[in-house]
Amino acid sequence: NSLSKKNLISKQSPIIYQNNIYQNNHSERNTEVTFWLHRTWQAEFNLAKTIQNILNQPIKPLDINIPDNLNAQQVQAVKVANENAFSIITGGPGTGKTYTVAQLVIALQQAQADSDAQQALGESATIRFSTDSAGLALSAPTGKAAQRMQESLQAALDSAQVEVQLQEAKTIHRLLGIGRDGRPRYHAGNPLGEDIIIVDEASMLGVELANYLVSAIKPGARLILLGDANQLAAVDAGAVLADLCRIDVLQPIHAQLTESRRFHADSGIGKLAAEINKSPADMQQVWQLLNYDEALQFQSVNIQGINADASDIYAEDLDTSVSNAQLENSLSNKKILSKITQNYTQYLNKINLLIKNPIAKSVPETVSLTISDLMSEFNRFRILTAGHNGEWGDHNINDYLTRWHMTQLKLPLGKSPWFHGRPVMVLQNNYELGLFNGDIGICLQTQQKGEGSRLEVFFENKTQGIAVNLLNDELIATAYAMTIHKSQGSEFDHIAITFDNSNSRLLSKELIYTAVTRAKQKVSIYSTKRALQKAVQTPTQRYTGLALQFQQKG
């Protein structure tokens, strides 16, 4: 057999990999050729070429005082990120990715303070990173992920008693200045000015956005990708983080963190996530955890109503040990949904109090405290769905919870989708309103002197409400339930995961792992045994060419 490899960084041809197999008489028996859509090939080609160029950039390591509470993996990750212009730090939830990169931020702050002192500006001068000058840029694919990253990093700096006030973390689109035409303001010819660019939730990066990002890094700057390679890949083409983690030439700049501080050794959620990640997964162990761990719950949903097609009723769900009578006496899906709904009761109680005592917009401090309290309560629980459609999709569940909400509060039913207490999620960036994909808000009745009451939506970390007439269905969706894809970058105390056999095409190991790891305290799964087993045993397969782009002549 003869394997022919081409130098993929020097050849600009979409037919880039050829495998020629010869028989003993040297006659060619088979030829395999890989083809790309040119746009995808170009993005992968440029991404690989630019990463190699960044890796060849000389970097002056910062002086870093490694704290004693870092484990060996975190120490290695700090070293990798400090000594290389491009680095990847991966790990599951609670493994300390953000705390680890905080050490670099502290070192950069100290370096800037020393530089200022040398210029007679005073060593005690407050250092404030600015996205308009050399310093630090924090970014993530979605607004929600960017916000959580900033909060986590600020908390890490505060715990280290380092006085650094971080500037606002941005979505990658906003960082690069990508406008309506899809073209970035910052690129190779006009690079970003920051010395360190940290990108969280890098598993959500598609190949084209990743290409734009690496192209905008100035010579001598550091780009650090953080993420969990086991999570869902991007909605767009490519599986950039997972691909990069598997490329041999990039292993020296990849640090993996496996010791979770969120999930202790006996944590049911941590154990379930680990079992799901195994290849192949041990379903017997998965069921053992779901049946006996207090932090985990599995409720089999009624499958009798699915298409009334016998082909959808699987043997696993109709176990011979369960009689037809028992099935008929099982909880109906409507009763299950009613049970799930009760997790929002405390949130609804807080909303009800604000009907009697509407927010007084004339007191911003009160507004801020009220919104913070409501968000904290709302984020205790969330329903995560495999998809939008079907009985267990977010559309149906949000409709059910909307009716429940309005009935409980005795709100009048009308044609408008807006009502007091409606939780919403932003579906796309709106720079004019300062809203970003994934942002969560709550619609509230407000009281203003001389104006009477009106409905406004308040978003996290914003004291000013936005009038509901400025928000339409293309921008906003009800958010009692959201898809697992949309939940990436978020955390909740308790999550309910819903799906059934009708979601078969959407189910994967990465989907369930992503959902389970959104929870901090409790996971409840509402599904069929067949659907859960299919999900846990189906790894996502994406056919990409990024690894081939890094190959060189043998």
Residue 525 is predicted with a pLDDT of 93
**Weakest-pLDDT range from 377-381, 461-465, 490-494:** 461-465
Confidence of residue 93 (pLDDT cuts 50, 70, 90): confident
Nearest in space to 485 (alpha carbons), one of 394, 396, 400: 394
pLDDT-wise least confident of 41-55, 110-124, 296-310, 346-360: 110-124
Q: How confident is the model at residue 516 (pLDDT cuts 50, 70, 90)?
A: very high
The two three-digit tokens of residue 140, written as one number: 């993530």
pLDDT value for 423: 95
CA distance 89 to 428: 28
Letter for the amino acid at 112?
Q
Average pLDDT score, the chain: 78
Q: How far apart are CA 208 and CA 235, in angstroms?
A: 12
**DSSP-assigned letters across all residues of 334-383:** HHHHHHHHGGGHHHHHHHHHHHHS-EETT-HHHHHHHHHHHHHHHTTEEE
Rounded to an integer, what distance in angstroms lies between the CA atom of residue 79 and that of residue 240? 23
Could you tell me which of 495, 492, 503, 497 has the C-alpha nearest to residue 530? 503
Highest mean pLDDT among 84-98, 423-437, 469-483: 469-483
Would you say residue 409 has pLDDT above 70? yes
Q: What's the one-letter identity of residue 99?
A: Y
Q: Which residue has the higher pLDDT, 246 or 122?
A: 246
- How far is residue 512's CA from residue 298's CA, in Å, rounded to a whole number? 13
* Alpha carbons within 13 A on the beta-carbon side of 503: 32
Contact 445, 358 (CB under 8 A): yes
Percent of all residues in the chain with a pLDDT value above 70, rounded to a whole number: 79
Give whole-number Cα distances, 398 to 118, 347, 472, in Å: 59, 15, 17
40-117+133-262: in CATH 3.40.50.300: yes
CA distance between the termini of the chain: 15
C-beta neighbour count of 302 within 10 angstroms: 19
Domain locations in the chain as residue ranges:
40-117+133-262, 268-302+331-413+479-537
**Omega before 280 within 30 of 0, i.e. cis:** yes
CB 2: neighbour CB atoms within 10 A?
9
* 147-156, 220-229, 306-315: range with lowest mean pLDDT: 306-315
Mean pLDDT computed over 236-248: 77
Cα distances (angstroms) measured from residue 410 to each of 148, 351, 357, 413: 35, 12, 16, 9
SS3 call for 514 = helix
pLDDT confidence band for 433 (50 / 70 / 90): confident
Q: Which of 222, 254, 260 is nearest to 89 (CA)?
A: 254
Averaged pLDDT, 413-434: 85
Mean of pLDDT values over 353-374:
78
User: Taking residues 127-142, what's their average pLDDT?
Assistant: 62
DSSP 8-state symbol, 190: B
CA atoms within 13 Å, Cβ hemisphere of 345 = 6
Mean pLDDT is lowest, of 34-43, 83-92, 264-273, for 34-43
Q: What is the pLDDT of residues 187-207, one digit of tens each?
A: 989 998 888 899 988 888 888
Q: In one letter, which amino acid is 483?
A: T
The share of the chain scoring above pLDDT 90, in percent, equals: 18
Q: For the residues 460-484, what does the mean pLDDT come to?
A: 87
Is the domain 268-302+331-413+479-537 a CATH 1.10.3720.10 member? no
Mean pLDDT is lowest, of 124-133, 235-244, 487-496, for: 124-133
Residue of higher predicted confidence among 62 and 398: 398
What is the distance between the alpha carbons of residues 183 and 105, in angstroms, rounded to a whole number? 30
